[in-house]
Amino acid sequence: MSASQVREKSALIEGLRRLVAWLDGQVGRLFPGYFALVMATGIISNTLYLEGHLGLSNLMLGVNLITFPWLVLLTGLRAARASKALWEDLTNPRLVFSFFTIVAASDVLGLSMNLRGQINAALGLWVFALAAWFILIYFSFAVLTFLNSAHNANAVHGGWLIAIVGTQSLVILGAMIAPHQGTLAPAVFVLTHMLWGVGLALYGIFITLFAYRIFFFDVGPDDITPLLWVVMGAAAISANAGSTLLLEDSGVPFLMSMRPFIDGVTLIMWAWATWWIPLLILFGLWKHGVRRVPLRYTPMLWSLVFPLGMYALASLRLSLAAEFGPLRAVAQTMVWIALAAWVATALGLAHAVWVDLRGADRAPDLPAIP
């Protein structure tokens, strides 16, 4: 082997070593709410599918079919190689509810499968999401009860409402797959109605605490994050879940008697989601326009894109459930706004990864990977 070949081989090995070290660092610092990327991509894909834009919808589904297993793999690697960092996030009142993005991402991907007739895949994702929800819902409230000191009560922010998003996503996918479950269908329908009620109760609790924190205490630029949009997204997905329950015929007399109640609450939740949009835009203008905080990419931005897509789909579902055509125009407009936000955020992610990789490539000697 010539000297030049030895140098090329050494450079290749060094490059691979730096890449592995970079990936190892990324795994250790993985934001637990990164599954919101799958949520945002999937909800826009599903809305586009229902609006008849099949090619674009399938393209975004392809992105999710790569992204979801990749994030699952990274989370597994984090549990194996950075278990201490993972546990710190799980026991942090500010971050524990971000793990509900795993639940919602599984359900949103399951809805994509269900739309394309892949019932078994949708059922598997729903069962996985339901098991994860049962674990997370009690674990997160245990963290809130035993590890959230009075000093940390300020942890109330929009991210906590991701628990409601995860809960209502179970309602939507569960109601969709229930008719295919044979003798278990009535039980699945009862469970979805129960979960819808649980989601509404949790929203009532969290939105009260959130509004008290935002409107009656000092707010700084650091308090205005993209996660605030989950306040709107949680209301929108609650409306979407209600519309789905109305559109699916459970055949259970007791549940059918609840339809007038579901009708009214669904409209109220959609109206409440609508009310939040101008206020959230105002918050953003104050932070980036008045206080001059630069707009940079952060994984939390996917939690802004998802509510936009969810609002579009909730408007579409409500237009069908209420047989009110004008709402269809709202959905058709919002889905393109959501897609534009998705593209901008994806470009921000690509730029952030590129800058990070270049920084790692230019770094001095790296420590050996354990």
The pLDDT tens digits for 28-68 are: 889 999 999 999 999 999 999 999 999 999 999 999 999 99
The phi and psi torsions of 65 (rounded to 5 degrees) equal -70, -20
Helix H or strand E segment including 111: helix 100-115
- Residue 317 identity (one-letter amino acid): R
Is the CATH number 3.40.50.300 carried by domain 28-362? no
Predicted pLDDT of residue 370: 32
pLDDT band at 138 (very low <50, low <70, confident <90, very high): very high
Position 5 pLDDT exceeds 70: no
- Tokens describing residue 360: 């790692």
Given a contact cutoff of 8 angstroms between Cβ atoms, the answer to whether 307 and 39 are in contact is no
Query: Which residues touch 321 (CB under 8 Å, ≥6 apart)?
Result: 242, 243, 246, 247, 263, 266
Query: Which residues touch 162 (CB under 8 Å, ≥6 apart)?
Result: 33, 97, 98, 100, 101, 104, 230, 234, 303
Q: How far apart are CA 240 and CA 267, in angstroms?
A: 10
Predicted pLDDT of residue 19: 63
The pLDDT tens digits for 156-192 are: 566 889 999 999 999 999 999 999 999 999 999 999 9
Q: What is the mean pLDDT of the chain?
A: 90
For residue 81, give the nearest of 27, 29, 31 by alpha carbon: 27
Position 154 pLDDT exceeds 60: no
Predicted pLDDT of residue 356: 81
Domain ranges of the chain: 28-362
The pLDDT tens digits for 308-341 are: 999 999 999 999 999 998 999 999 999 999 999 9
Position 279 pLDDT exceeds 80: yes
Radius of gyration over every alpha carbon of the chain, rounded to an integer in angstroms = 22
Predicted pLDDT of residue 137: 97
Query: Which residues touch 122 (CB under 8 Å, ≥6 apart)?
Result: 110, 111, 113, 114, 173, 176, 177
